[in-house]
Structure 1
């Protein structure tokens, strides 16, 4: 498989564990996709150097850039002053690698193996798009355009030349709603990638929607995990009479050592060495290599 891939992330002023998740996500992606892929992190709401410092040692192949402050013309006038609870930054810029297959990962999505749906997207037709499966539909104002199946935009893949601007224009023409929440942002993306047929899907068996809060999944997936809710510094509610933030942190700590192991690092920073970047990654091999 010789298709060129670019992987992108967005990070802002999130919790310390959100930055730790980003670090693991960077190393995990390099493990899966190897040195043939391009990698970039877009930073918003803080200086780039500060974000790199808070993330800790990261692969040298990853570029770090300041996110554009202005929304793309297709989204001006529909994103509220709060940037849809901050998540609209994921759309700035719309494309990082317009000439490559582009994979956008949330900072709290950690991969250590190639999911089957992602492998199909990378080896499929020239118009294939990719989303993640979710455990419950949460598509906000654009639900009517998203179909019945729950989808999550924490993993988003588009092919070279795909115009997100045009896709968003078509969605907003059908449903002229503002983006005021993370559900609206997710629904806009799901609708845009579903306009011309169902996208490929990364299953929750492969990449779990991973959190201690029902109906999310406690355990890791076969190929990765999306640690929803980890970016928040404070979850202002209680779960079975315990502070939700405490429960969330406990769940992360339960999986933390295993996550480091699966991406090829040690939880002890002094013992870490950069993993090999030769081309025997799961993606370069052309097929998923199975669960760990």
Structure 2
């Protein structure tokens, strides 16, 4: 697959995804809550997690409706986590996706509620009255809950907050980012595979691909934090360094961090080769986009 075909797939997939997500996030939620939710999740972001769900589902010949619901649910969880992480009690950031963070735009209380509501909505989206078999609903809910809870994203954020000003070795740093960022990206891939008749071999290899990609994403994030400007990133550059947070750049150095990102991309592609699936080109090119991105 060439770059033009891949870009067309991305554009087509994201157009369908944005339409689906727009229809699922209610503007009618009371007292301005719907407006805050829609501000937080619509019209911005890389949408990497939804693309991973859809690409993985396509690779295993899965159910597109279930995968689109899973894609929306994952992005709702991701968006809720950003709203909460940006608040003054956590990372205290004022810019996200090139615009004021949700608590700056709507106030802290409304932002907290918007995050809470998006988290609940994610699981509502995965349990429609029809269209997804009950067993698959349960599987998708379990994958999403485990990746976003204490052993995943929330646990990683707790370690992150507890590590400010501390020296971490690479093993501890890797565990923190595996939980905070990597596990939800990995779950996106596995959720997509769960929507189709994936073999145990393919599912395991896709999970390994997702784990390598998730770590690569964070390594690149740490690199960009010190090499790009805020207007390119769409968020405050140099924030982790200013907050004295451990990163791959501070622990390994910039050159070694860049080498690690390339090694993780190669690891992800080896995992794809082990899936036994006929066409994993979308997933392979998504790995390239993660490592080569500039924001």
TM-score by length of 2: 0.31
Greater relative CO (CA pairs within 8 A, separation 6+): 1
Which structure dedicates a bigger proportion of its chain to strand? 1
